[in-house]
Amino acid sequence: MSRNLFKLFRPVGLILILIASALFIGHFILWISDGGSYPLGENMVNYELNIIPGIIMMKPITFSIVIGTIGYLLVLESIENPYKVVSEETMKIIEVISIFFLFISLYEILFNFMYWGAVIATLLDGGEAINVDLIASKFQYSKYSWNLVFATKLFFMIFFFSILTLVFINRWRRATQTV
């Protein structure tokens, strides 16, 4: 790959991450300004964006995660030798944090799918027509509920980013050991 193209990875990746973050923050501000009257994230799953009209449509949460993931990959790929900037101890701390987030996010993904299945089965058993995109967690101890599509995609992104971080740390470690 051309070195000039490789140099574009970091700025393009950072721009994509900023766009994804702006979408998350914008929808979160809308949710707060509405007093949290609907489940958190519902405003990111209840309509579609026309990316390419009539061909590609995505929910805002899906679009945010896709461009955020591409951005994260580009930024990680643009890092040649992080050991010039950070120590092995710092890398180990990042590794432990990634493993922690990997564990928590996997648990949340599994929980959300089990909860989703139980809610869908209960609603179908009652003969109700349902829109699975609008199912939310409604727990007694929480003031606000979360939309399950939103939460599951968000936790899957965290899970995937944790795996990517671990893969890249191991790649960088192997590269420095062979030098």
Query: Among residues 38, 33, 30, which one has the least CA distance to residue 144?
Result: 38
21-30 residue pLDDT tens:
999 999 999 9
User: Is beta strand 56-58 parallel, antiparallel or unpaired with respect to 136-137?
Assistant: unpaired
Q: What's the chain's length in residues?
A: 179
* Residue 130 and residue 123 in contact, taking contact as beta carbons nearer than 8 Å: yes
* Residue 164 and residue 73 in contact, taking contact as beta carbons nearer than 8 Å: yes
DSSP-based three-state secondary structure for 57: strand
By residue range, what is the domain housing residue 65? 3-178
pTM for this model (two decimals): 0.86
112 to 12, 107, 151: CA distances (angstroms): 33, 9, 8
Report how far residue 88's alpha carbon sits from residue 99's, in angstroms, rounded to the nearest whole number.
16
Report how far residue 134's alpha carbon sits from residue 156's, in angstroms, rounded to the nearest whole number.
18
Number of compact structural domains in the chain: 1
Tell me phi and psi for residue 137, to 5 degrees.
-80, 130
Report how far residue 32's alpha carbon sits from residue 116's, in angstroms, rounded to the nearest whole number.
25
The string of DSSP letters for 63-96 reads HHHHHHHHHHHHHHHH-S-GGGTS-HHHHHHHHH
Q: Residue 2 — pLDDT band, cuts 50, 70, 90?
A: low
Which residues, including other chains, have CB under 8 Å from residue 9's CB and lie 6 or more apart? 74, 75, 77, 78
Q: Which residue has the higher pLDDT, 3 or 31?
A: 31
Is the pLDDT reported for residue 162 higher than 70?
yes
Q: Residue 117 — pLDDT band, cuts 50, 70, 90?
A: confident
* Residue 64 and residue 154 in contact, taking contact as beta carbons nearer than 8 Å: no
Residue with tokens 């699975």: 132
